[in-house]
Amino acid sequence: MPIVYTCFSTDVIHEGHLNIIREAQKYGDVYVGVLSDSATVKYNKFPTVSFEKRLELVRGIEGVKKVVIQNDVMYDRIVESLHPDYIIHGDNWAQGTLKALRDNAEKLLSAYGGKVIDVPYTYSEAVRRIDNKIKEKLSMPEYRRKRLRQLIGIRRIVKAMEVHSGLTGLIVEKTFVERQGELDQFDAMWLSSLCDSTAKGKPDIELVDMTSRFKTIDDIMDVTTKPIIFDGDTGGLTEHFVYMVHTLERMGVSAVIIEDKIGLKKNSLFGTEVQQTQDDKEHFCEKIRAGKSVQLTDDFMIIARIESLILEKGMDDALERAEAYVEAGADGIMIHSRKKDPGEVLEFCDTFHAAHADVPIVVVPSSYNTITEEELAEHGVSVVIYANQLTRSAFPAMENAAKSILIHHRSKEIESEMMPIKDIITLIDEL
Q: 393: which DSSP letter?
A: H
Binders of ligand SPV among residues 2 to 21 (CB under 6 A) are none
Least CB distance to ligand SPV at residue 238 (A): 20
Least CB distance to Mg ion at residue 338 (A): 13
For residue 123, give every residue at least 6 positions away whose Cβ sits within 8 Å of its Cβ, in sequence order, or none.
none
Binders of Mg ion among residues 178 to 207 (CB under 5 A) are 193
Compare residues 85 and 206 and give the one whose CB is closer to ligand SPV: 206
Q: 266: which DSSP letter?
A: -
Q: Which does 85 bind (CB under 5 to 8 A by kind): Mg ion, ligand SPV, none?
A: none
Residue type at 401 in one-letter notation: A
Compare residues 33 and 332 and give the one whose CB is closer to ligand SPV: 332
Compare residues 5 and 190 and give the one whose CB is closer to Mg ion: 190
Catalytic residue among 204, 231, 233, 279: 204
Taking CB under 6 A as the binding criterion, the range among 109-117, 263-271, 375-383, 402-410 that sits at the site for ligand SPV is 263-271
Least CB distance to ligand SPV at residue 241 (A): 16
Would you call 408 exposed, middle or buried from its count of C-beta atoms within 10 A (0-12, 13-18, 19+)?
Answer: exposed
Q: Does 192 bind ligand SPV (CB under 6 A)?
A: yes
105 vs 363: CA distance, rounded Å: 37
String of contacts with Mg ion for each residue 218-237, x by CB under 5 A: -------------x------
- List helix spans (H) across 210-341: 210-223, 238-251, 281-294, 315-327
Of 3, 119, 242, 364, the one binding ligand SPV by CB under 6 A: 364
Compare residues 193 and 382 and give the one whose CB is closer to Mg ion: 193
307 vs 362: CA distance, rounded Å: 13
Q: Does 306 bind ligand SPV (CB under 6 A)?
A: no
Least CB distance to Mg ion at residue 204 (A): 6
56 vs 61: CA distance, rounded Å: 9
Q: Does 267 bind ligand SPV (CB under 6 A)?
A: yes
**Measuring CA to CA, which residue among 65, 94, 100 is closest to residue 82?**
65
Of 3, 101, 130, 387, the one binding ligand SPV by CB under 6 A: 387
Binders of ligand SPV among residues 20 to 59 (CB under 6 A) are none
Of 21, 67, 160, 194, the one binding ligand SPV by CB under 6 A: 194
**Phi, psi (5° rounding) for residue 267?**
-60, 140
Least CB distance to ligand SPV at residue 166 (A): 18
Helices vs. strands in the chain: H and E counts, helices first: 17, 17
119 vs 35: CA distance, rounded Å: 20
Q: Does 216 bind Mg ion (CB under 5 A)?
A: no
**Phi, psi (5° rounding) for residue 287?**
-65, -45
User: Residue 131: enclosing H or E segment and its boundaries?
Assistant: helix 125-139
Residue 279, helix vs strand vs coil: coil
Least CB distance to ligand SPV at residue 313 (A): 16
Of 198, 234, 366, 391, the one binding ligand SPV by CB under 6 A: 366
Query: Is 201:164 a contact under the CB 8 Å cutoff?
Result: no
Least CB distance to ligand SPV at residue 376 (A): 16
String of contacts with ligand SPV for each residue 212-241, x by CB under 6 A: -------------------x----------
- Active-site annotation holds for 204: yes
- Axis-axis angle for helices 125-139, 141-154 (nearest 10): 80
SS3 of the chain: helix, strand, coil, percent, to 5: 45, 20, 35
Q: How many residues bind Mg ion (CB under 5 A)?
A: 2
Q: Is the dihedral of CA 244, 250, 251, 255 positive or negative?
A: positive
CA dihedral of 64, 67, 71, 73, whole degrees rounded to 10:
0
String of contacts with ligand SPV for each residue 195-214, x by CB under 6 A: ---------x----------
Q: Does 268 bind ligand SPV (CB under 6 A)?
A: yes
What DSSP string runs through 132-153? HHHHHHHHSHHHHHHHHHHHHH
Least CB distance to Mg ion at residue 412 (A): 39
Which positions are catalytic? 204
- Which residues here bind ligand SPV, judged by CB under 6 A? 192-194, 204, 231, 267-269, 364, 366, 387-388
Which stretches of the chain bind Mg ion, using CB under 5 A? 193, 231
